[in-house]
Amino acid sequence: MRHTDTTTRSGRRRRGRRAALLAVSALAAGLLPLTGSASASAADDPAPTPVDRFEGEVPFATQPAEGIFTWGGDTDDHPKLELKERADAPEGAKVLEGAYDISGYGGFSHDYAADEPAHDWSAHKGIRLWWYGDDSGRKLTYELKDGGAHGEASELWTTSFTDDFTGWKQVELPFTQFEYRTDYQPVGGIDHVLGLDKMWGYAVTLPTGTKSQFAMDGVELYGKADQSLRAQVSTDAAVYPVKEGGSAAVKLSVTTTGNVPIEDPVTIEYATGGGTADAGKDYTPVTGKVTFPAGTASGAAKTVTVATSKDSARSETAETIPLKLTVTGAKPPAESPQVVIDAHGLTYLDAKAPIKKRVADLVSRMSLEEKVGQMTQAERAALKSPGDIASHNLGSLLSGGGSVPTPNTPDAWAKMIDDYQLRAQATRFQIPLIYGVDAVHGHNNVVGATIMPHNIGIGASRDPQLAEKTGAVTASEVRATGVPWDFAPCLCVSRDERWGRSYEAFGEDPALVESMETVIKGFQGRANGSDLDRNDKVLATAKHFVGDGGTEYGSSTTGSYTIDQGVTKVTKQELEAVHLAPFGDAVKRGVGTVMPSYSSLDIIGDDQGPVKMHANAAMINGELKKKLGFEGFVISDYAGIDQIPGDYASDVRTSINAGLDMIMVPNAYADFEKALLAETTAGRISEARVNDAVSRILTQKFKLGLFEKPYADTSNSDKIGGAAHRAVAREAAAKSQVLLKNDGNVLPLKKSQKVYVAGSNADDIGNQTGGWTISWQGSSGKITDGTTILQAMKKAAPGATVDYSKDASAPTAGHDVGVVVVGETPYAEGIGDVGNGHDLELSAADKTAVDKVCGAMKCVVLVVSGRPQLIGDRLGDVDGLVASWLPGTEGDGVADVLYGKRSFTGQLPVTWPKSEDQLPINVGDASYDPQFPYGYGLTTRATGGGSGERGLVDKARLKVQQKAGGKVTQAWAKPFAEAEHLALTGDYKGALKKLAAAYKAA
């Protein structure tokens, strides 16, 4: 909302009328004079500019509209707000009052409208507000939202003030007082510069632990900004690596908020010295001063050259030459730049030497502190300073779900990661970072990337070659953004669809999961790792070791989760046959890393009870590394060691001794390094264990070619989201569709038919792609580029009538067939657990849409979801039923099978239950009475089945389904499902025998 000077003047008049009342109130409270209140403005100061008057001019609303809104760790942490008239209001008639009782975190924000330009606050000295204090001594945190796309995708800058007064007080917060927030950034940080010319609002974080109230009024910008706030000196890089004898050109630039010329001169004094390089021997010292005169245009630059020297040493580690900058008249760079003379002549740098020899040489040279750094992985957004990469010798960074650069483009990703890699060049051995992301169904972090169906849909395709192709596309797009490591694939065997991670599994049958592990070859290439240095391959991660798909409902102790991160209770035989088998196959395929599960494992009969997998030495050291022969490295899950019982030192000691090689900290990297160093120095972790972990990590870095090519190879960036990649995703979407019912051959649709489309998921790319898309939990709406199912249907039948009414409220008359697209909204991990705000029922709106459409015409229901939904009560009213899973960005693949361009060939990767009470229900259960059995799937293909023995089984399966005629009985379903399991294990004779039994029972 735009504010005018008229508003400001009227506010002053109201303030004047209340002067007497305020004076009395303040005097009674002992507040006169008002310590810290606004001083008289200088004559040339701009008039104060209102931000919030709380008279109702800014509503309670959320993005994209302008508004005030609350937030918190849970619903109880949201403060209660109201605009309330008060006689003692410092400004206007109303104030913002609030009540709160926060156990986790909570507060409120004012965001400007996202569909209007950001506001320019750069002319002002700071922001101030009236706060009604109760002298509690509590600290209030105040944040500014700077730059980015909108208020929820901006950079956060923070300061605080203390409630150490009584009654109203005007609190001034100069912009120079704000600091970049390091513990959380919604976009992971943009440029780490408080620009002030593109502001999106503010936020207030309220104190925790005490039930209280507050009142606030008159938020406004005040004072005149001085040049030191508006002008910034920067360098074109923080680190300048040069070969010995080369020169570094350090470009010094001066820029201003709003790109206006500087008003006063800016001087920069510079001097080399203080690093590990010897002045006069390794480089020629330089000192001097550069001046940018008043009137200099924003963006002007001057260069300082630092020349290095060759010496007689044939081999040396890297040496640093800091260039100290002293700036007058502008903000200095956040840190002084460094020139780095590259390491050279050392064995580990010889690209022709065997990797084993290179690793041994490097490990032998490293200090314990450097080894500890290699075992540490930090979240990029948690870096207190980018310089910590070098000072902490960090071995790895990651982007957690939603931790993305701004703008979220492939080029910005590559630049961001290159900047981080450059920092690693300032370390003694210049060991490159290995950067990791959760690209679990395509490069799902990046807007515009190709988003594949989630794994449950890939499992439904029953196509190992397709799985490999999806992995190859993902690897190409991920590596083109500078990321060499993917935390995928999930090899969990999902045994209970109440689990919020169900869709991350290929299915409930370990044989199906193993058959889809061709995706590892798509990621990595050849099993020996010789393809990992290619610009279209990434290091893969088999997760979550082991048993995460078998956790018991109700066993989780993580927050409100009901099953995720719970306890898997199995016999040793069941563990090996169901949950461990896929990991053995992954090791044979050469998977480079393995990630343990958050969950606990309770092996029946071993008398140990539940053991957290991050602490399970018997499984990690014993089973994975020793018995299965895994030679890669084990990476913890996000803060996974924090769930091990005991104090932090114990968590570190237990996890490393259990066989974890790198710990995803992600925020407490300094604490972790300190603890690991202390535990190793004390002998509670052996240096041999540390050397083993570091050797495993470095081996993969060498295989990836990072020492020779640490920076992004963007030559494939034009393929990201390109036609060829989307064609693979389209094929995967089509093959993932499972036809469960097709009475009267309602499918495929005819292009001549008038089609009525309804349902919540027909035209929503966010719902269609599900969780782990752009953000961790995913979200509804237009979150990335793609084609919705509705859009695809209109493309598939050009000129035909395809009418859409989301809630089926539009008239239905005159249509030949209805297509109702229903299902779930996005979620991820335990947030999506059934019982944690979720169930397996369709929403009331979706049920209404199904009833209206299917009551008026022939209809097909598509279920877009991460797991089966309960549709038994409406099954008799539905002519066609399709399990569409989460098909990704390419809705054209769904339209391809709906209109017969491709045939339906998908099969259920999980058992479809009749009721939630049946869960867990899986193929092989002694009692098995599902709505649709595992492996079920009708076809619209003229002749079913392929060639060979597997083709023979497929043909037999289709005949058995045809004979059943949609009537699924317990006697028929059990052998039918077991036949599919046997076929996937290669026991075709056994499969045919089971199908014969099912045929007889039909």
For residue 205, give the 3-state DSSP assignment: strand
On whether the CB atoms of residues 636 and 672 are closer than 8 A, the answer is no
User: 744-774 burial, b if ≥16 CB within 10 A, otherwise e?
Assistant: eebbbbeeebebbbbbbbbbbbbbbbbbbbb
Residue type, 367: S
Judged on CB neighbours under 10 Å (0-12, 13-18, 19+), 35 is: exposed
On whether the CB atoms of residues 978 and 955 are closer than 8 A, the answer is no
* Closest CA relative to residue 725, chosen from 669, 803, 785, 658: 785
On whether the CB atoms of residues 923 and 731 are closer than 8 A, the answer is no
For residue 927, give the 3-state DSSP assignment: coil
Instruction: Kindly name the residue from 91, 468, 824, 829 that is annotated as catalytic.
Output: 829
On whether the CB atoms of residues 282 and 290 are closer than 8 A, the answer is no
Contacts of 58 (CB under 8 A, 6+ apart): 1, 52, 66, 67, 68, 110
Cα–Cα separations (whole angstroms), residue 275 to 228, 247, 341, 385: 29, 16, 11, 19
Contacts of 996 (CB under 8 A, 6+ apart): none
Residue pointed to by tokens 């320019």: 120
Catalytic (active site) residue 637: yes
Instruction: Kindly name the residue from 552, 637, 763, 954 that is annotated as catalytic.
Output: 637
What is the token pair recorded at 375? 């075992």
Cα–Cα separations (whole angstroms), residue 63 to 73, 150, 613: 19, 8, 40
| Sign of the torsion angle spanned by Cα atoms 826, 828, 831, 832 | positive
Residue pointed to by tokens 């507040």: 31
* Closest CA relative to residue 800, chosen from 748, 746, 857, 753: 753
DSSP result, 97-149: EEEE--SS-EEEEEE--TTSPPB--TTSSEEEEEEEEE----EEEEEEEESSS
Contacts of 779 (CB under 8 A, 6+ apart): 766, 773, 826
Q: Maximum Cα–Cα distance for the chain, whole Å?
A: 97
E strand or H helix at 543:
strand 541-545
Catalytic (active site) residue 829: yes
* Closest CA relative to residue 777, chosen from 736, 731, 832, 816: 832
Per DSSP (E only), the strands in 786-827 are 802-804, 817-823
What is the token pair recorded at 273? 């010295």
Bridge pairing between strands 633-634 and 593-596 = parallel
Sheet holding 247-256, edge to edge: 231-235, 247-256, 300-307
What is the token pair recorded at 509? 């049958």
On whether the CB atoms of residues 144 and 179 are closer than 8 A, the answer is no
d(CA 639, CA 654): 14
DSSP result, 703-737: HTTTTT--S--GGGGGGTT-HHHHHHHHHHHHHH-
Contacts of 672 (CB under 8 A, 6+ apart): 376, 652, 663, 665
On whether the CB atoms of residues 768 and 885 are closer than 8 A, the answer is no
Sheet holding 755-758, edge to edge: 738-742, 880-883, 858-864, 817-823, 755-758, 802-804
Active site residues: 637, 829
